[in-house]
Amino acid sequence: MTQQTKASFKVSEVIQRLADSGIGFTACHDGPAGMITVTLTPGQLEMYWNDPPTAFASVYGVSRDDYIAWHAAGYMAQCGNLTARGRRCRNAVVDGHLVGSPDRWLAMNGGYCKIHGEGFS
């Protein structure tokens, strides 16, 4: 095989050929209880080739920033209410510790903790 032949394949073509042959794609990322394995479509595998967080964000239907924020928050959905001093409450929302996926985390983040959910401030 010459160099030119090797270079003539685009990443997307290689991925599509593999997919057409019945080969599936999975990738792993950190989660609250260890590594999480997800299945990637051929399009998502191409994203993964360029930038893994973009591919994982696509799997969950969230933005890349939200996927990163889920990790950065330690998988905790934070109460969106303000304390009596006007600062953002630092408590987790109800059941908001170690949220297992970024789409669920996004839906829960900014909700109410136990205290604010009961109307106290």
Q: How many binding residues for Zn ion (CB under 5 A)?
A: 6
For residue 41, what are the CA distances in angstroms to 10, 25, 65, 72, 101? 17, 7, 21, 26, 18
Q: Which stretch binds Zn ion (CB under 5 A): 12-20, 21-29, 87-95, 99-107?
A: 87-95
The residue from 77, 89, 99, 108 that contacts Zn ion (CB under 5 A) is: 89
CA distance 66 to 9: 33
Beta bridge partners of 39: 26
The residue from 58, 91, 101, 109 that contacts Zn ion (CB under 5 A) is: 91
Query: 62 or 77: whose CB is closer to Zn ion?
Result: 77
Query: 6 or 87: whose CB is closer to Zn ion?
Result: 87
The residue from 78, 81, 101, 109 that contacts Zn ion (CB under 5 A) is: 81
| Shortest distance, position 31 Cβ to Zn ion, whole Å | 25
